[in-house]
Amino acid sequence: MTGSRSPDRLLGRAGVSGNPDRDQHFLVDERVLDRLPTYLPDDADRSHVLEVGGGTGALTDRLLATSDRVTVVERDPELAAFLETEFAEAVAAGRLTVLEGDALDVDLPDATASVSNLPYGVSSEITFRLLPLGIPTVLMFQREFAERMAAETGTDEYGRLSVSAGHYADVEVVEPVPPTAFSPPPAVDSAVVRTTPRDPDYEVEDEDFFLRFVKALFTQRRKTLRNAVRNTAHISGLDDPDAVVAAADETLMSRRAGDVAPDEFAALAALAAEHGGGRDGG
């Protein structure tokens, strides 16, 4: 079952055409729109799907056809009002809730999954609001961002984003999407990413410190870890970075962040917290 509303006609009824200056690029390729809900894992709970950035409702329409209930967050007041009107029947039936507001500020519902065409300017911040919820997601990103999210250790794309996203979920790029799929077309290629929540294969006692420590080391990805630990104590919050370097394996300290696997970062972060006085903040 798929939605029946034409994305072009929705744009016409809403009286909008998209605005690149406001990070507004409406997904209008019906084939891509129809596929997005199908990328959720087969065993995903579709009882309450969250959509961030509803726009004129082309994806909302598809989600209502494939899910029991949908909550859509839309920051543009006029578009939020349009969604209420366009989908009045679903709203009245309790199957659609429209939250007007910024997805970085509103209280997110207890959704069971998220399928969204994210505003690219804030896609990273929104993603790291969604991933800790522990729900499967299907999200549209700039292709470069998507490839960095899914990158493997030792590749050029591997970095803080890869480790941080992989801490919460298995990450896969499931479909490249050309600029022509959008109105107006963005200046970059896009890609669809599926995240499937899982527990990492390593232990982390202080998640905030771990993620901050990884972020700090990747700011100096061309340096050895020995130098990166010392040079970024003001970011990671270490009181005594030299003690961390002294306590750590010398071979590990000679490597660079891009060649270090997530479980090795986790072990080093635990050692840093123990010997270097890792503290809150940063």
Q: What φ, ψ does residue 66 adopt, rounded to 5°?
A: -125, 0
Q: Annotation-wise, does 102 bind a ligand?
A: yes
How much is the pLDDT for 276? 82
Q: Annotation-wise, does 74 bind a ligand?
A: yes
Q: Annotation-wise, does 277 bind a ligand?
A: no
Distances (CA, A) of 134 to 44, 114, 128, 137, 166: 12, 11, 11, 9, 12
**Is pLDDT of 21 > 90?**
no
Sole residue written with tokens 């803080």: 160
How much is the pLDDT for 230? 96
Q: pLDDT-derived band of residue 15, with 50, 70 and 90 as boundaries?
A: very high
249 token code pair: 């394996």
At 45-60, the pLDDT tens digits run: 999 999 999 999 999 9
How much is the pLDDT for 277? 73
**Is pLDDT of 3 > 90?**
no
Q: What φ, ψ does residue 19 adopt, rounded to 5°?
A: -145, 105
Task: List Cβ neighbours of 40 (8 Å cut-off, separation of 6 or more).
Answer: 46, 113, 115, 136, 138, 194
Q: Annotation-wise, does 53 bind a ligand?
A: yes
Instruction: Specify the pairing of strand 137-142 against strand 169-177.
Output: unpaired
**Is pLDDT of 272 > 80?**
yes
Q: pLDDT-derived band of residue 19, with 50, 70 and 90 as boundaries?
A: confident
167 token code pair: 């801490």
At 207-243, the pLDDT tens digits run: 999 999 999 999 999 999 999 999 999 999 999 999 9
Closest of 242, 224, 232, 243 to residue 282, by C-alpha: 232
**Is pLDDT of 18 > 80?**
no
Task: List Cβ neighbours of 64 (8 Å cut-off, separation of 6 or more).
Answer: 3, 70, 87, 90, 95, 96
Q: pLDDT-derived band of residue 2, with 50, 70 and 90 as boundaries?
A: low
Length of the chain: 282
114 token code pair: 């998220």
At 107-157, the pLDDT tens digits run: 999 999 999 999 888 999 999 999 999 999 999 999 999 999 999 999 999
Closest of 255, 266, 140 to residue 200, by C-alpha: 266
**Is pLDDT of 282 > 60?**
no
15 token code pair: 């009286």
Q: Report helix, strand and coil shares of the chain as percent, to nearest 5.
A: 45, 15, 35
**Is pLDDT of 184 > 70?**
yes
Spell out the domains of the chain, with CATH numbers in brackets. Answer: 7-197 (3.40.50.150), 207-276 (1.10.8)
Structural contact between residues 220 and 281, judged by C-beta atoms closer than 8 angstroms: no
